[in-house]
Amino acid sequence: MTVARTFNRRDWLKVAAAGSASALLGGCATGIRGPVEYRRPLSLRPFARPNIDMSLITHTRVGLRPYRPGGFVVKGERFGDKLVIHNYGHGGGGITMSWGSSMLAVRELPDLADKRAAVLGGGIMGLTTARLLQERGWSVTIHAKALSPDTTSDVAGGLWAPTSVFRLGDETPEFLAQFVEALRYSHDVFSKQAGRGIGVNWVENYYLSRERNQPRDFYYLDRWPELFPSIAELSPGEHPFSAPYALRHLSLLIEPAIYLPRLMGEIRQAGGTIEQREMRGLDDVLALSQPVVFNCTGLGARELFGDTELTPVRGQLAFMPADERVDYVTHGSGEGLLYMFPRADGILLGGAYERGASHLEPDATTTERIVREHGRQARAMRV
Ligand SMILES: Cc1cc2nc3c(=O)[nH]c(=O)nc-3n(C[C@H](O)[C@H](O)[C@H](O)COP(=O)(O)OP(=O)(O)OC[C@H]3O[C@@H](n4cnc5c(N)ncnc54)[C@H](O)[C@@H]3O)c2cc1C
């Protein structure tokens, strides 16, 4: 449903006072056009200005994205009579890719009489792999060094977007085929789960920029626009943000704080076992009794299986109390990487993208920048 918010007299007075009426008349050379309408593709409500201030920050979180320039690994590897199926290295898009990548991993299974599998890792990849195995009649035990809420998957913003999953331009045709299949499969699964009270919802995104087309740097919007409904480039006057341009689309937002515990509950309910246990080396893995082991250890695969292409990319988030009036996502614009996600557990303000950094302590300067830039942007909104 398309919903328009009509400018009222008070809005025009505010604009006139700010001296920016001409900017709001976007694209209209004469300036003679009816009142500007902000078209919202999803929400019935007008845009609300988030109240952003350092004093409202409840906590910060830091996580390390398991990035591989060549993209994530899904493949079987034999160690004697044990089959290890890898499913790791999804960078900044592990929530996004999860169901699809895990589907590819489970598809590597040979037909065995002994249908017992061990899954290493209790993040999104381990949990979705375990669920898919159970659906195929396998008995599953998860071994994970850390469990929710202490995995990287718990730190994820949860936006459905394959951001920094591989180094653009370096992808092989084989990887791209795998990536696209996983992307579409995941999209299908999450789309069907949206709006059912399990932490998956459609949300409006606004990429704010000074120049037209700039947000198109997000390659996936160009290549698979059908996965991001309602894409439109909004000119000045067609949106309430202070940046001149806003690229809008809908995407899914998956809330880890709801989604991960729910998946764990489903796995246990279906007879699965979840154990907190670290694999200290390959010997531990090969000593497991199951004939098949799924390696969903994320960044842990660097140590455990010697994958030196895996690189941590540090991210940092600041949270404010949830505000149900704020029901849209923004990306940019201001100093550094910026994004705001409205979630049930708080308004999430990001971000940071530090390749090779692996310290887990929050950095006060980064938090200060994130809050300052988002606050500046919020105060400049025309609402
Ligand atoms: C700040 C930030 C924001 C993000 N935002 C998004 C987003 O908006 N959308 C999105 O799609 N993605 C996002 N991501 C990326 C996403 O979080 C990751 O890609 C995803 O969590 C990877 O999932 P995983 O299950 O492979 O790894 P993890 O969640 O790291 O899980 C790995 C599991 O393996 C276990 N493990 C590791 N080593 C061992 C061992 N030796 N023995 C036993 N267990 C072991 C760990 O304890 C853990 O249980 C973000 C990441 C960060 C840091």
- Supply the CATH number for residue 363's domain: 3.30.9.10
Q: What is the distance in A from the centroid of ligand 1 to the CA of 123?
A: 6
Average pLDDT over residues 212-237: 86
Tokens of 94: 């592990």
Q: Is the full-model pTM beyond 0.85?
A: yes
Report which ligand 1 atom has the smallest distance to the Cα of 122. Answer: 49
Question: 145 pLDDT exceeds 60?
Answer: yes
Average pLDDT over residues 139-158: 98
Average pLDDT over residues 340-348: 98
Among 151, 253, 288, 314, residue to substitute to test ligand 1 (most atoms within 8 Å of Cβ): 151
Report which ligand 1 atom has the smallest distance to the Cα of 277. Answer: 43
**Within this chain, do residues 372 and 277 fall inside the same structural domain, yes or no?**
no
Would you place residue 9 in the very low, low, confident or very high pLDDT band (cuts 50, 70, 90)? very low
**Within this chain, do residues 58 and 156 fall inside the same structural domain, yes or no?**
no
Q: Is the shortest distance between the CB of 89 and ligand 1 below 6 Å?
A: no
Among 59, 60, 65, residue to substitute to test ligand 1 (most atoms within 8 Å of Cβ): 65
Q: Is the shortest distance between the CB of 312 and ligand 1 below 6 Å?
A: no
Q: Is the shortest distance between the CB of 157 and ligand 1 below 6 Å?
A: yes
Q: What is the distance in A from the centroid of ligand 1 to the CA of 231?
A: 29
Looking only at the bridges linking them, the beta strands covering 232-234 and 339-343 are unpaired
- 3-state DSSP call for residue 41? coil
**Within this chain, do residues 157 and 81 fall inside the same structural domain, yes or no?**
yes
pLDDT of residue 333: 84
Spatial contact of 313 and 60, defined as CB atoms under 8 Å apart: no
Handedness of CA 84, 85, 91, 92 (dihedral sign): negative
Q: How many domains does the chain have?
A: 2
Question: 23 pLDDT exceeds 60?
Answer: no
Q: Is the shortest distance between the CB of 317 and ligand 1 below 6 Å?
A: yes
Q: Structural domain of residue 333, as residue ranges?
A: 50-64+201-254+313-379
Report which ligand 1 atom has the smallest distance to the Cα of 127. Answer: 25
Question: 272 pLDDT exceeds 80?
Answer: yes
Q: What is the distance in A from the centroid of ligand 1 to the CA of 212?
A: 34
Average pLDDT of the chain is: 90
Question: 203 pLDDT exceeds 70?
Answer: yes
Q: Which of residues 344 and 212 earns the better pLDDT score?
A: 344
pLDDT of residue 211: 85
**Within this chain, do residues 141 and 155 fall inside the same structural domain, yes or no?**
yes
Residue 32 lies in a domain: no
What is the distance between the alpha carbons of residues 27 and 69, in angstroms, rounded to a whole number? 41
Q: What is the distance in A from the centroid of ligand 1 to the CA of 165?
A: 12
Q: Residue 162 CB: number of other CB atoms within 10 A? A: 26
Question: 12 pLDDT exceeds 50?
Answer: no
Residue 5 lies in a domain: no
- Secondary structure tally for the chain: helices H, strands E: 11, 17
Contacts of 53 (CB under 8 A, 6+ apart): 371, 375
Residue 289 lies in a domain: yes
Question: 248 pLDDT exceeds 50?
Answer: yes
User: By alpha-carbon position, which residue is closest to atom 7 of ligand 1?
Assistant: 158
pLDDT of residue 212: 82
